[in-house]
Amino acid sequence: MDAQFWINAWIEGRTAFHQSKYNEKLLAYFPTLSPTQGQSVLVPLCGKSKDLCWLRDQGLVVRGIELYEEAVAAFFPENAFPSPTITRHQEFVTYESDGVTIDCGDFLKFEGSDSFDFAYDRAALVALPESMRKAYAEKVQTLLRRGGKCLLMTYEYDQLELQGPPFSVDEVQVRQLYGQRCDVKLLDRRELKVEGSRLGTLPSLREAVYQLTKRH
């Protein structure tokens, strides 16, 4: 799986991962991380998610990273933002408007360390095959400040029943990926019914929500 896979998914309209409203788990659990105005939040593989708007409205400084530039460009007019300022630097094109910045490029090449108070991962980790998850998780942890927190959502199902993405990532895998540098706390796990997507064909599907807190 490479960058072109996801670019083709956007071009061909295979974007069931994009939601037309705020994510309910975001609204329920992000406030439990105790964010305060002016703190920063990283949203990897953000697409054109409306969740960016909700995070901005909480007074947070929002930084999304997305591979497909047309999704980035569409986010701002679709959500009635002023026309963004667009800059190009190294391997990224950056769009910025009214408290939201989205960098277009490969997340694993995004530079920085100890930069963000929070991270929000609704559909990023589960979008990646197992071979890419370790590098992704390391990048997220590198970008979080010490004591920084990540709200992570995953799916759990019998991987033999469906060829991802989205992939099944269970608690054992989450703790393997994040446990050496973060405290991992399970906030919620429950059966999930999904209409109108490939996940809806599964006989059993659960969604889990975690709080990751970076120790070092």
Domains of the chain as residue ranges with CATH = 3-13+20-214 (3.40.50.150)
* pLDDT at 38 (0 to 100): 97
pLDDT band for position 206 (50/70/90)?
A: very high
What would the pLDDT profile of 165-183 be if each residue is shown by its tens digit?
A: 899 999 999 999 999 999 9
Tokens of 65: 């990273």
What would the pLDDT profile of 74-90 be if each residue is shown by its tens digit?
A: 999 999 999 999 999 88
What would the pLDDT profile of 142-168 be if each residue is shown by its tens digit?
A: 999 999 999 999 999 999 998 888 999
- R_g over Cα of the chain: 16
Sort 79 into a burial class: Cβ within 10 Å, 0-12 / 13-18 / 19+: middle
* pLDDT at 14 (0 to 100): 54
Whether residue 209 contacts residue 152, with contact meaning beta carbons closer than 8 Å, is answered with yes
Tokens of 148: 């920084």
- 18, pLDDT greater than 90: no
Contacts of 82 (CB under 8 A, 6+ apart): 76, 97, 98
For residue 165, what are the CA distances in angstroms to 5, 130, 142, 169, 199? 11, 11, 25, 11, 10
pLDDT band for position 91 (50/70/90)?
A: confident
Whether residue 141 contacts residue 184, with contact meaning beta carbons closer than 8 Å, is answered with no
* pLDDT at 201 (0 to 100): 83
**Rounded-to-integer distance, Cα 194 and Cα 207, Å:** 11
* pLDDT at 200 (0 to 100): 81
* pLDDT at 147 (0 to 100): 97
**Rounded-to-integer distance, Cα 154 and Cα 29, Å:** 14
- 13, pLDDT greater than 60: no
For 41-50, what is the mean pLDDT?
A: 96
Phi, psi (deg, nearest 5) at residue 210: -125, 150
Q: Which one-letter DSSP state was computed for residue 168?
A: B
For 69-76, what is the mean pLDDT?
A: 94
What would the pLDDT profile of 98-107 be if each residue is shown by its tens digit?
A: 999 999 999 9
* pTM (predicted TM-score): 0.92
**Rounded-to-integer distance, Cα 42 and Cα 96, Å:** 14
Nearest residue to 98 (alpha-carbon basis) of 154, 59, 141? 59
**Rounded-to-integer distance, Cα 43 and Cα 145, Å:** 15
pLDDT band for position 11 (50/70/90)?
A: low
Whether residue 66 contacts residue 74, with contact meaning beta carbons closer than 8 Å, is answered with no
Whether residue 84 contacts residue 96, with contact meaning beta carbons closer than 8 Å, is answered with yes
